[in-house]
Structure 1
C-alpha cells in the first residue's frame, strides 16, 4: 500500500487526501491549526461569515468531483430576480447596467487576449480606455487584486468572462464553506485518512515517502527552504456587517471606478444572519502602500450609496486585512505554467492556489492537488483535468 503525507488541511490538502485514499493509499494529514479549512473556514457564532466572500463555480472541474461524492451539500437558491438589484458604481454614481464598452469585451466572440501584454493596453485598443478600466475593475470579483489592468491580458480576460454572469455559475453552500470542509473531512476519515490538527510541521522527516505540501506558498517556502517558491498575489481589506433588513437594499455592488465588491448573503442563504438581519461581506483590494483604513473607507462609501442608513442598522461588524487572497495572479509574459511547479523532486509535491495548475481561484487548488497525487503515485496515464469539468 502506498503511504503519503499531506501537510495542510485546507481545500487542497483534503482534496489530495481523499484522492490518495480512494486510490488505496494510507494517508496522514497534518494541520497546524486546531480546525481544518485554511481560507475556506467559516466563522463560528450567529453569523456564518466566510473569510471573505466565497462561491463555488459550477462550471469548474471541482464542482463535478465534489458533486459525485455528495460533498457540496444543500445550496442557497439561485436568486433569479436579483440581477435587477445588482448595482454598479461607475463615474461616482450607482447604475443598473454595464457600460457598452465593457459589454464589447465580454462577448465570447471577442478576440483572444495575448499573454504578453497587460490587460489595460490590450482592452483599451479593443474598447477604449474607459471601457478597459471598467472591465479591469469588474474582474476584481474573481481577482481581488488592486490593479487588474497591469496583469496579463489573457489572465484577466478569462476571469472577466467567468465573472460576466455570476448567477449562471456562482453557487453558495448553505452554512458557508465550513460545511463543505466538514463533509470532506468526514469522507477522508471514513476512507481511513489519519488527520492530526495542532500539528505544525517544521521539517520533512528523514526517509519520508511522498509528501504533498498543501500550505500557503509562504509556508511552503519556509518548510522546504526554497527561496524560488514565490509568486505575485495581493492584499484585501475585509468588511463583514450584519444589518437590519431594509426593503430596497442592493443585492450586490460592483465597483467599476476601483476594484471592489460588496455582496448581500441573506438573499441566498437564510442561515448566515439572525432573523430580520442580512449579512453583507465586502472585499476591497488594497495596494502595498495602502492601509486597512483605506480599503474600509472605500467599502463604506459603497455602503453609503447602496444601503441607506446602514450605520444605524449595524448589529455586528468585523474588519480584517487578508494577504494572498487572490491566489496566483499572472503578470504580462507569464501564465499558470510559469508558477512554481508541482513536482519539487525527491518525492515532494506542491498543491494550492499559487502553483502551476490551471483554473480560477480554488480550482487551482483542486487541479494541483489531483496532479500532485497522480505524480506521487507515478500513474502513467494522468487524469485529464478537462474531462473533470463533466
Structure 2
C-alpha cells in the first residue's frame, strides 16, 4: 500500500488521516503552520476563543464517529435556564419570544424546493414578515449577509437544526483545539506522521502525487492555488466577529438573535449535559464574575468590518445595557470565505467542487461536494476522500499520470 499524503492539519485533514490509518494505510499529515487546527484553531490570549462560536451538532454524522473513538471529550450544552434568557430583536425592540409563525415554519412546512430562493418560498408559507425573520434567524448556521436569497431547501435544513428543541449544539470544553489535539494524538498513536511548518507548493505536490494518493484538506482558496484549478470556487460568506469578556450583571441575556438583520451574540456555554461524567474538568475560559461573549454579524461583499461591528454594538445595547463600562477585554476580526459553502437556488451540495479531482488527488474541506451542516461538510468530505485514497493506494500501478500544473 502506498503512502497517503494529507495536506492540512484541521478537522477534515485529521478525519481523513484517522480513517486512512484505520484501513491500514501509511499516512503523513503536512501542516503549513506551527500549530494544528486550521479553522478549528483556538486563538491564544487571555481568553481562549475560536473564530466565532463553534459547535458540534449532536445529530450530525461526526458526533457518533467521534464518540465511537472516544474523541469527543467533555462538551457543554445550553441549559434550560440559559434557554429562558434567549432574546430576539424584532422591529428594533428586544423580545422574549420569536414570531409564532417562525416556529411553525421550521416544524410544519413541507420540504422546501431547491430551485426557489428561501425568501420567496417562506413568504408563500408564512407571510413576508415571518419569512424575513426566519431568514435572519437562520444566519446562525449560515454566516451569510442575505440568507433569503439562498436555496430554500438549503436554508430550511439549517433553520430546522438551528431551531431544534432541545438544542442540538454542543460545545467542546476548552475550545476546538482540545478536539483537534485528541484527534492528532489518536493519529500519532496509529503511526501517522505529522509534520508541522511544512508548506506544500505545486512542485512539492507533484512530487507527492507521483508516490501515492494526496488529500488536499485546505480551504478552497488554498486548494485552488495549489492545484492551479480556477474551477475550485464556491460561494461562502464574510462575517464580522466580536469577542467580549464582560463583568456579569443580573438581567443580561444569554443570547440575542437579531431578526431585523442577520446577527447573533451568545455567552460562553459552560454547563455540562447530564450524561457527562460529573468529574470532568471544566476548562472555563473566563474567571468568576466575568463571561465571554462571542458574536457573528455577516457583512455583504464590499461592506466593511466596522459596519458589522456597529450592528453588534446595537445588539449589545439592547441585551447587555452598560456593556461598555463592563468590558474587561475585546477583540474584533473579519472572517472572509471561512464560513463554509452556501448553495444558491438551483444548486445543492452535489454541485460543489468534486472530492475526486483525478490523478490520485482528492479534496476535503467545508466547501466541497459533501452533505452536512457547517463542520459536518469537512468531516464527510474528509471521510470520503480518505476512503477513495485508500482504494487508490491498494490498486496496482504501472504508471501514474503526472499533474499538469500549468493547466490544472
Give the TM-score range, shorter chain: over 0.9
CA distance in 1, matches of 2:151, 2:127: 18
Match of 2:405 in 1: none
Match of 1:62 in 2: 62
1:192 Cα offset (Å): 0.5
Match of 1:189 in 2: 188
User: Which runs of 5 or more residues in structure 2 are unaligned?
Assistant: 272-281, 393-408
Match of 2:338 in 1: 325
Are 2:315 and 1:316 aligned? no
Instruction: Show the 5 A alignment for 1:132-143.
Output: 132-143=131-142
Q: Secondary structure at the match of 2:340?
A: coil
Match of 1:51 in 2: 51
CA distance in 1, matches of 2:165, 2:218: 28
Match of 2:162 in 1: 163
1:375 Cα offset (Å): 1.2
CA distance in 1, matches of 2:284, 2:166: 20
1:165-191, CA deviations, whole angstroms, 9 ceiling, x for partnerless residues? 365211011101110011011111101
CA distance in 2, matches of 1:181, 1:341: 25
Match of 2:231 in 1: 228
CA distance in 2, matches of 1:77, 1:302: 23
Query: Aligned-residue CA RMSD in angstroms?
Result: 1.3
Instruction: Show the 5 A alignment for 1:19-34.
Output: 19-34=19-34
The counterpart of 1:246, out of the listed 246, 249, 254, is 249
CA distance in 1, matches of 2:328, 2:352: 43
1:335-366, CA deviations, whole angstroms, 9 ceiling, x for partnerless residues? 00000000000000000010000001100000
Match of 1:216 in 2: 219
Which of structure 1's runs of 4+ aligned residues deviate more than 6 A?
A: none
CA distance in 2, matches of 1:72, 1:246: 32
Match of 2:119 in 1: 120
1:270 Cα offset (Å): 6.0
1:46 Cα offset (Å): 3.1
1:110 Cα offset (Å): 1.4
User: Which runs of 5 or more residues in structure 1 are unaligned?
Assistant: 380-390
Q: Secondary structure at the match of 1:220?
A: helix
Q: Secondary structure at the match of 1:246?
A: coil
> TM-score w.r.t. structure 1 length?
0.95
Aligned residue pairs, count: 378
CA distance in 2, matches of 1:123, 1:23: 45
Q: Single out whichever of 202-211 and 192-201 deviates more from structure 2.
A: 202-211
> TM-score w.r.t. structure 2 length?
0.90
